Each structure stands twice: as structure tokens, then as C-alpha cells.
Structure 1
Amino acid sequence: MALPSPHLDDRRFQQFVDDAKRYVQQACPEWTDHNVSDPGVTLIEAVAHMADQLVYRLNRVPEKNHLAFLDLLGVTLFPPAAARADITFRLSAPQPEPVLLPTGTEVATGRTETEEAVVFATTADLTVVPCTLDRMLRHEAGGTPEDRSQDVLGGEDVPAFTALPQVGDALLFGLSAAVPDCVLVLDLDSRVDGVGVDPRRPPLVWEAWTTGAGWTAVEVDEDSTGGLNRPGEVVLHMPSGHAVSRLGGHDAGWVRCRVVEAAAGLPAYSESPTVRSARAFTIGGTVRAAHAETVRDEGLGASEGVPGQRLRLAHAPVVDRPPLLLQVAERAGGSVDGDALESGWQEWTAVADFAGSRPGDRHFTLDAATGELAFGPAVRQPDGTVRQFGAVPPKGAAIRAVRYGTGGGRAGNVARGTITVLRSSIPYIARVENREAARGGVDGETVEEAKARAPITLRAQERAVTARDYEQLARRAAPETARIACLAADTAASGAESGVGENAVRVLVVPQAVPDRGGRLRFEQLVPGDELLARVTGFLDERRPLGTRLAVGPPYYQGVTVVATLHAFRAAEAERVRADALDTLYAYLDPLTGGAHGEGWPFGRPLRAGEVFAALQRVPGVELVDEVLLHPADPLTGRRGDATDRIELAPSALLFPFDHRVRVVEAR
């Protein structure tokens, strides 16, 4: 148990007032009016207020000493992290020339009477490249590509695949240029010949040829052709690596539509669809944006020419996108490392510390939480010499921040479809949208959190030994994650589903997810990305003991469907009761915020029907919970298992609420 922090003086305002009144009665008994309206009592309260402020400041001395000790240990507050989202810009019409959206283009959510707009800025340039359809090839499974460009462009009906389409048959579209990160539209004129398939889920995949990865799956935004069975448009979001390649003797930016196995329970093609005409064009593009406002050309003053000078940016906290670009104006003929420099602006580089900085290195450090910049110090060595760590800007040289981003925090985690406002002036842009929720935003660390983290950091010493060490270090590597859990070696080895075996640890990562409007999470939101897993794995791999095997991945999500029958009070509206009951079920079983304590459903904790009874009984308007059935479910296929009153979970499993069914019986 930690030693309690002493109160140097535990008296408070009211105690000062009461003591003063007692002293007055002893020293001046003729003063009998002690009501708050008396001028003398007012004077007593004023003095007591000043004394209370002095006591408050005195009691903060231990906290100040504690913070000074943390500062000596190098424990600093973690800055906030900025949420990120992929923003899609839609053009008003296809353009004959490329449309450039520069880095720093700002978009935002809509502003309301109660909420300010949340601003995002793009982190890279986006060029919407115009294109046309130059070639069309038909590639039968196991065969060679066949050029059908003249037939299609001439208006003839051309079968897209073989007479009886086989898995692997493909129809290839050759574009006049590569269109990475663009929104591509294929306008097709097709007939209803590809019978037998479900037009909502045809057995087709769309792919694009990319550098290094070959054929890569393409996200389909819209397919109004019903699987190439009627005239319409196929809207595709092209991958970043789309490039021109040579296929069938022709150079083009290739996109293909390939036949795959039909999903379980769905029919396959019995005849090949046909294409009479086709054309292609780009109508927009997608680029990553961060929750930050870009500050440009901020003057920071002049250099004093002494080591260790500190400056402060006007806006804090500072986020890593866009990165801070600091420049110092070097005087003509001046020197930093002994060599003459040309007059003009010189770029300086941010470093974590000056331990590896030489006297001529143009380095500086940045405290992202406070926005404070520091240049290299001069340190006296044991032999009496003074060593300079990092260069010192010449005296009188102007210093400026050319560009940096400020913002971050949880406020940037907005739902999909909410970023709709274009703040920068860009011609030809009709609308913007975020097709997925923005995530990754984390508030800056508080002093109390730093004080709780410091003992763990000192004990672990950058080494992962216990399960708690792994969890804390993984949280440092990826602070934007929602939940992290580490299974001990014996626990991880006991479950066949773990796949890690003996002498191993398994770290479970649950990414941050923003529910859609209505408070519902989608299953794909809970799957961590490859970049996040790689970052956590690399960080922990450098700190694990030798001989320990490490596995980092998502938990197993056990879907559960609740089927319940409720009886409502006579005055309650049945539809309202049903909606509230569904909200309660999704909230209670939520893997991020559910459970009895609102901290997410515990790993490995089974679900019992009695808990659901109790949760539903608290719903306003519910008189009686008649029946509750639990069904294990697969969130991917939608299949449900047999009804049960208890769902067991493995130690590495979490619940995922899926497709609940609630029936409300109205009172008669």
C-alpha cells in the first residue's frame, strides 16, 4: 500500500469561521449578533477565505515534490493522439484534367447549436486522375486473354465469360491511365442473360493490378448492374498501388471482374451475362485525414545564441500529422559546424533526445503536450570540458514553424457519414464523406494517470515479464486501442484455440470503434488492422525475454443473439419499449462498454440468461420478462445455434451482440 500523502493543515473555510466566532465571544461578549448579515461576520468570512487559500497552497507542496521527482526520472505526459479517417471527395462531374487536393485540405463535421465542428486535415496530396476505357479482354479460366475491345466499343453483345461461367473466368477493363486512390465508375450496358444469380450478392469479385501485390481486391461502393445483368454503373474505390502494367500485349491500368464460388445457399451463373457497351471515368478520390488544424508560418522569435534555449508554439497540443517543420534563418557567412552556410532558411530535425546529437547536428526536441521546443544543451564533462549536444542557432537568427498540426483527442472519433463539410476552397468538389468512422483519437495523459504509470514503468524497466507488463507496454505502443489483455502462458497454452503453445504469451488487442448512428457496432470494426498489430508486435518483441514466443492478435468474438418476450405496462407504447429493450441488450453485451461496470464485457466470462432477465426488467415500461433464450451466433454468416440458458466463453473470447429479437406483448 502506498504511503498516504499528508495534509500539512487540514482545516477548512467553515472551521476558520467557527473558530473566529468562538474567539470573538471570549474576547468581546457584548457582540451577540453573529448572523451572516452582520458586517463583522462578513469580515471574518473574508479573512477565513484568504486563510483557506493559503492552506490549499501549502497542501500542494507534497504534490509538487512528487511531480518534480517524476520529472527527474524523465516521466512526461503523453500527448493526445489524433483520430484518422479516410475521406472521399466526390467531383461534380468527370474532369478532363487532373484535380489536385493538396496536403492540409480541411474538412469538418457539421456544426450544431450544441456542438462545435470537428476539423480534419488531409495528410497527403490526392490527385484525381482522369481516364477512359481503352481495352476490354475476356480471360477464361486456364486460358489466355482474348481482346474484345472492338466488339464492345462497337456496340455488339459480347459474353463476359464462357457460356457456362466457371470459377476463375474474368472480364478485364484496360484504363488509359492508372488511377490510384480514385473513385472509378464503370458505366456498363448489359442484358439480363446471366440468369440464376442473386443480383444483390452475385458471385463476383472486383480486383485491380497493383505494384508489388499483383491482383488486389477493390472495394465496391455501388453495383447497379445486379452482377452484369442490367444497364448500370459499378463504382469502385481503387487501391493506392494501382499502376499501369502489360497484359495481353497491351499496356493499361487494369481492373477485372472475376467469377468466384457462390456463397452458401446462393445460386451460381447458369448463363454468361453480356456487355454491349462500356465506358470508364473517375468521379473522385480518397485520402487519409487527421483530426488536426494546420498552422502555417508561425514566427517564434529570434535565437539568443546560447545552448538550451526554449521556445513555445502558440498552439498546443501538437500532433504528428502534419509533422512539425521548423526552420532557422542562417546569416550569410555564418556557421554552425565550422562550414560556411548559404544565407536563407535551414530545416532542423526533431529528435526524442540529444543523447546521440553531435555539436553540428541541427536537432531540437518537442514536448507535444505543451508545444515547447528546446535546442541542444551544453554539458560539462568529468574532465572539465564542455560538450555541446546539438547545434545552437546563431544569435539573432529568426526561427519559424513553417507547418505543424494541433488538435487530437477523443473528440475526433466521429461516426461514419458525419464528415460532410469542405472547409478549403477546392474547385469541382461536390461533396465529401467519411465512409468509415474516424478512430485512433486519444486524450492527453493527465497528471494522475502519469503518477499511476510511473511505478509500473520503474518496475518493468522496459522489459515485459508479467502479464501486466505486456499490457502496459502494448498500451504505450498503441494508446488508441480500446482494450488490451495478456493471457498468462499457462492460460494461453491450455486453450486449443490459442495457437501459441507452451512458453508463450498471447496479447489480445481490441481496436477502438465508433458506433454507427443508433449505437450499433459492426463486426468488422472490431478487427484490428495489420498496421496496428505489427506496431504492437514490434514494440513487444524488443522487450520480451529470450525464449518467450509472442502472439498478438484479436480475441475470438462469440456472437450471441437474444430472443426475448416482454410484457409492457398498460400505459407504455409497445414500439418504444421494444426499442429501449434492444438498446439495453446491445449496450449490456457490448465488448467495449458493456458488462456490469460499463468497461466492456470481461474476457472469458460466460453469459447467463438470468443476467439478461435482470437487464431487461430494468427497461422503462416493462412489467414482466416472460422468456429469454440465448443463441450462439456467427457474426459473419448470420447462422444461429440452438437455444440455451448459458453461453460459455474461452479465456481469449469476448461476446459480440448480434441481431437480437424482442417481442413486446401489450397490456389489454
Structure 2
Amino acid sequence: MSTRPAIDYTNKDYQSLRRAMLDLARYRIPEWTDHTPSDVGILLVDMFAYMGDIILYYQDRIASEMFPGTAVERRSLVQLLRLIGYELAPPAPARADLLLTFEFPSIAPVATTTIVSGTLFTAAGVGDTTIEFSYLGPTLGIDLRSDQAAPAPAVRPNTERASVRLPVVQAGAEAQIAIGSSTGEPNQLFAIDRAPLLAETLTVEIDEGGNWVRWDRRDSFLYSEDDAGRLLLSPADARDYTLTFDDAGLARIGTGDGQFGRIPPPGSNSVRATFRVGGGAAGNVAAGAIARAKSAIPLLVVVTNPMAASGGTDAEDAASGARLGPAVYRSNRRAVTLDDYEAQALRAGGVAKVKARSRSWNLIEVIVAPEGDTLQPLPEDLRARLLDFFEDKRMAGTLVRILDAERAPIELALAAEVDPRFHADTVRQRVIDAASGYFAFAAVDFGQTLYQGDLYALIEAVPGVVAASITRFARLSTSDTAELPVEDELRRAGLPALDLLPDSIRRALVGRTSPSSRIALGAYEIPVLDRLTTDVRVGALS
């Protein structure tokens, strides 16, 4: 007598279900022996296995969407993280420090200019697009002959020039739109259909019967914090609203229920919002890209950004939310440990990489590398925003400093032999791209150890490369006495090139300068490829 088949609850696919049903059929109805595809019983088994495969697939998907670590739909992750009070960060705007140059007559008794709050500047984007930057500080009246400006060399007779530095944020012109009509019901939601909305510029006003009243943004209707950091229960008549972003990145304004937070009175188009749109990695434009003032500024002749804009990020992705959400929840919105400072800094937006350290009992140094394509110094506007962000999170008596990441310049020299069937120039560019990609800002981190073997693997994987040789792999020193590459030493000494020397001398020189197999960096350093020399040729390497 056959034994009853065991049920395997891990068999959830079509083939496993079909096999399990046929095994059970052999036990229950051994007289059924026709298992050909034309048999109606086999048809029913196939249909049930197909239906079971679909149902079990959706059950697994539902179970997976219940946990941040396994959820794949952004909508699920948004809702799960809200249970612990964490919102996925919207796109953050890039920031830059502009250098404005003004020109005025030497004989002018007064040389003043005005930079109005909201002044717009533009930079060239991808294709025919432009990216707008705004000055969001207070209106400035500047005496160009005072210490408010720095003298600049004149380029025309009988004129003077002065320059002024100005912090700007990736943001467009201010817009004001009606976002909905209040019905007088509790817990209303109003959507803003412009994206990406810059939260720091948002103002919400509600018509309460003949006049517009500004409401205040809160993280929660249940409580708020005063200037001293004390928790206060929100009264029923508080003019508060919440700002959240849905899975599509659109902003939603929420109002209270009458018990916690006031209910807006009913009215047509009674809720309006004033805001600016901006944010995203596209705002990290290169140095010199911001070259035009869209708003009129008296006496302005030249505008530029000496350093690349940085800090612009796209909306926080699911992987980042699943990692940072629990960390921020464990810190209870406070920064106590070094891990707390790092998690909170990433949460602030505009920060690509961060490391925290403590050199005394009451001093925390947060080393920050802003978002961008390359390692850049922190824009002063972003530095100030981070300091303000930590103000209500640091422990009493603890000082916080925001520092730039330390730059570790690397020098690399390599040679590669090209297969004659490949175009040498194409292979050369691919080799350069592969070597540069190893040091790309997105691929490196603080204190990362660099290995020569990894570079060999990347270069030799390039199609058309037959062999490769790395002749220089070291930190680049700015000292005049630093060791130079062999070719540079020979050139400086007036000697022939390396490939023109006898084999015995060439082997000795190459052996003397054999690069190390790895480069160890300090805990707060980020590697940057500062000098790359390539020698890609058809034929064997000498």
C-alpha cells in the first residue's frame, strides 16, 4: 500500500502544485492511470495549478509589501515608514555661491546696487532646457565702494569694478495657485500638482470669511515644539497644516479634525498656496554654468559660479528609506551617538556622504560631502542649513561643526596593449572611462582602501585590451620634492624617453617605481583621481 504523500507548503509554483496534486491523486484514486494531456482530469489539475500559482503569487507579494526591507512598491514603503513617523525625502535643491561683478563710473559719487529677494539666475541644462536659481535671502542694498564688496580689476577706462558673493538655491519663480475648496469636514487633503515643490518656500493661506489667513506647518497635529524644545499639545483651534508627499512626488496639504487642529471653514477656492518649484540632481551644474541674471540688477556686468553647484538630489529612493527610516526612528529625532548624527545629516537632504567624529566630550564634527557629480566644498547656504537642522536635535551643551570632506588626490599612470582588430582611439577612451569610473564620486566613500588589482580587472575587461600595466598608483603630493613619474624625471633631466633606453636600464627604472598594490586612506578622506596618464597602443607593451 502506498504511503500518503507529505504536503510541502513551500511548493508554490505551477509545476510544484501540479506534481503535488498528481501525487495525491495516485494515493486517493489509484485506478486513475490515464495522465495524458487529453484526459479531462489532467485538464482540471492544470487549471487548478494555474489558479493556485496566481493566488500564491499575490499572497507572497502582499506579504513582501508589509515590511520595509522587502517592499518593492514605493507606495507601500511610503505608508509603512509613516507608521514610524518617517517620510521619504522629496527632491532637494542644488545650492551654489555666485560671484557677481559690477561696473560703475570712477567719477560717480555713489555706487550702489540692490539685489531683491527672489532674484532669478539661469544655467544651461540638458539640451535646450534651462535651470533656474534664486536668491532667497533678504533684499540687499550694497555700497560697492564699501567692505560689502571686493574690488575687482577694471577692464575699461574711467570705470571701476567690484564683486559680491551671493548664495543661490535651485528654485524657479514664485507661484501662487488655489489648491482646493474647503468642505468644512475634518481631515481634509489638498493636492499641489506642481513638482518638485520646494518645501522651504511653501506658504499656505485659507480664506476664513473675507480675509486670507496664513496657517503654520507642523509635523504632527498631536503636538508641536516650542523654541526651548518642549513638547506642547496642539489646541483644537490651532491654524496648523501638515505637508506630505505621495508616491508620485506630489505635495499634499492636510488639515485638522477639530480636536487637534482647526477645520477650515467651507468656501469656494478657499485654500491657496504660494511656493517655488525646484530640486533634483540636474541642478548640480558645472562651474561657470550659471552665467545669466534673469532679473534686472543695477550695474551688473558678469555673473558666474566659480565652483560647481552641489547638494541637489532626486527624491529619496526605496533602498535609502528602508535603511534610514529605522535608524532615524531609533534616534527618536535626536542626535546623541555618532550614528545618529550621520543618519540625521543624510535625512536633511543635499548630503551624499557623511562621517561624524568627536574630539572632545561636547564637540561633534560632521564631515560632509554634498551631492553632485564630483567632490565639492560645501556651499555656505547648505552648511548654514545643516547647522540649523541640528539645532533642535543636538544634546544641550553640545557644539556641532559642519566640515568639508578631506580630499585625497590620486595619481594613476597605466599602459594598455590593444588588439589590432579594434580601433585604438575607441579603446583608449574606454580605458579612460573604466579607470575614471573606479574613482567616480558615486563609487567611493570615506576611508576607502584602493586596490591595484581592482583596476587591473576593470581595464582588462575593456573589449580590445589584450594586456595592461599600471606604472603609477599613489597619492599625489603637492610638494616640489615629491617623487615624479619616470617619464617626467627623464624629461626634466634632459634624458631620452623610457622606451628609447636600453632594456637593462628601463627594467631597473620601472622596478624602482613599481606601484604599491593598495592605497590606504584616512577615515575622513575621499579619493579623487587628480592625474591620469594613459598609454594605449597597438602591439606588445615594452
Normalising by structure 2, we get a TM-score of 0.66
Instruction: Determine which of 41, 47, 59 is the counterpart of 2:63.
Output: 59
After alignment, is 552-561 or 503-512 more displaced? 503-512
CA distance in 2, matches of 1:629, 1:480: 35
1:300 shift after superposition:
0.5
* Partner AA of 1:310 in structure 2: L
1:328 equivalenced with 2:206 (yes/no)? yes
Aligned to 2:187, the other structure's residue is in SS state: coil
Measure how far apart 1:612 and its partner are: 4.4
**Cα deviation per residue 1:24-54 (whole Å; 9 max; x = unaligned)?**
997987784469xx99899668745763565
Distance 2:301 2:370 in 1: 33
Q: 1:630 to 1:345 in 2, by over 3 A?
A: same
The answer to whether the 8 A contact 2:178-2:269 is kept is: no
Q: Are positions 1:408 and 2:314 aligned together?
A: no
User: What CA distance in whole angstroms lies between the structure 1 residues aligned with 2:80 and 2:325?
Assistant: 10
Q: Which residue of 1 aligns with 2:244?
A: 367
SS at 1:298 equivalent = strand
Q: Residues 292 and 408 of structure 1 are in contact (CA less than 8 Å); yes or no, is this contact kept in structure 2?
A: no
Cα deviation digits, residues 506-560 of structure 1 (max 9, x gap): 432112223xxxxxx4xxx522233433443454565455676655412332222
> What is the distance in 2 between the residues matched to 1:281 and 1:467?
47
**Cα distance change on mapping 1:327 and 1:111 into 2, 3 Å:** same
Q: 1:311 aligns with which of 166, 190, 215?
A: 190
Partner of 1:513: 372
Residue 119 of structure 1 deviates from its aligned partner by 5.2
| 1:663 has 2:535 as partner | yes
Q: Which amino acid aligns with 1:561?
A: E
1:79 to 43, 68, 90: 90
Structure 1 residue 450, shift from structure 2 partner: 3.5
1:655, 1:648 → 2: CA distance? 10
Kindly tell me: are residues 616 and 436 of structure 1, through their superposed partners in 2, closer, same or farther at Cα, counting changes over 3 Å?
A: same
The residue matched to 1:532 in structure 2 has which SS?
A: helix
For the 8 Å contact 1:633–1:641, the answer to whether it is kept is: no
Would you say the 8 A contact 1:107–1:424 is kept in 2? Answer: no
Name the counterpart of 1:298: 178
Deviations 1:288-311 (A, max 9, x none): 35256865423412x233443333
Displacement after TM superposition at 1:324 (Å): 2.4
Q: Secondary structure of 2:330's partner?
A: helix
Instruction: Tell me how far apart the structure 2 counterparts of residues 626 and 448 of structure 1 sit (CA, whole Å).
Output: 38
CA contact 1:78–1:445 (8 Å) conserved in 2: yes
Match of 1:460 among 312, 331, 345: 331
Aligned to 2:354: 484
Give the secondary-structure state (helix, strand or coil) at the position aligned to 2:313: coil
- Percent same amino acid among aligned pairs? 21
Q: 1:439 aligns with which of 310, 316, 321?
A: 310
Whether the aligned pair in 1 keeps the contact of 2:180 and 2:272 (CA below 8 Å) is yes
**Residues 329 and 215 from structure 1, CA distance in 2 versus in 1: closer, same or farther, beyond 3 angstroms?**
closer
Hey, what does 1:278 align to over in structure 2?
158
Q: Is the 8 A contact 1:408 1:441 kept in 2?
A: yes
Q: In structure 2, do the counterparts of structure 1 residues 640 and 87 end up closer, same or farther at CA, with 3 Å as the change threshold?
A: same
The answer (yes or no) to whether the contact 2:94–2:310 under 8 Å persists in 1 is yes
Paired AA for residue 371 in structure 1 = A
Amino acid at match of 2:339: R
TM-score, normalised to structure 1's length? Answer: 0.55
Deviations 1:361-401 (A, max 9, x none): 4332211445222223333xxxxxxxxx4433223364232
- Deviation (angstroms), 1:17: 6.3
Q: What are the equivalent positions in structure 2 for 1:523-534 lying under 5 Å apart?
A: 526-534=376-384
Structure 1 gaps, min length 5: 1-7, 91-97, 130-177, 181-207, 235-276, 332-342, 380-388, 490-499, 515-520
1:50-80 residue CA offsets vs partner (Å, 9 max, x unmatched) = 6356535653684499987754432333323
- Write the distance in 2 (CA, Å) between the matches of 1:71 and 1:642: 56
The answer for unaligned runs of 5 or more in structure 2 is 1-8, 102-112, 225-233, 486-512
User: In the alignment, what sits opposite 1:240?
Assistant: none
Query: What SS is found at the alignment partner of 1:82?
Result: coil
Distance 1:319 1:215, change over 3 A: closer
Distance 1:418 1:34 in 2: 71
Query: How far apart, in 1, do the equivalents of 2:117 and 2:382 lie?
Result: 27
Q: Equivalent residue of 2:367, what SS?
A: strand
Q: Deviations 1:604-624 (Å, cap 9, x if unpaired)?
A: 63x465554454444443333
Q: Does 1:622 align with 2:500?
A: no
Tell me if the contact between 1:633 and 1:639 (Cα under 8 Å) persists in the aligned partners.
no
Report the Cα distance in structure 1 between the residues aligned to 2:114 and 2:403, rounded to whole angstroms: 40
Task: State the Cα deviation string for residues 593-643 of structure 1 (Å, max 9, x = none).
Answer: 3xxxx3x154163x46555445444444333334512454357x9985456
Task: Say if 1:85 and 1:297 are closer, same or farther in 2 by CA, change over 3 A.
Answer: same
User: Contact 2:167–2:380 (CA<8 Å) still a contact in 1?
Assistant: no
Question: Higher helix share goes to which structure?
Answer: 2
Which of 587, 603, 606 is 2:447 aligned to?
A: 603
The yes-or-no answer on 1:349 pairing with 2:349 is no
Cα separation, 1, equivalents of 2:306 and 2:203? 31
- Partner AA of 2:409 in structure 1: G
User: In the alignment, is the contact (CA less than 8 A) between 2:185 and 2:263 conserved in 1?
Assistant: yes
- Aligned residue type for 2:63: N
Q: SS where residue 267 of structure 2 aligns?
A: coil
RMSD (CA atoms): 5.3
Distance 1:20 1:432 in 2: 76
- CA spacing shift, 1:292–1:40, aligned 2, 3 Å: farther
SS in 1 for 2:420: coil
Compared CA separation, residues 297 and 104, structure 1 to 2 (3 A): farther
> Residue type matched to 1:11 in 2?
K
SS in 2 for 1:475: helix
Q: Give the match for residue 503 of structure 2.
A: none
Post-superposition shift, 1:436?
Answer: 5.3
Report Cα offsets for 1:165-218 as digits up to 9, x if no partner: xxxxxxxxxxxxx778xxxxxxxxxxxxxxxxxxxxxxxxxxx555xxx26547
CA shift, 1:23, in A, is 8.8
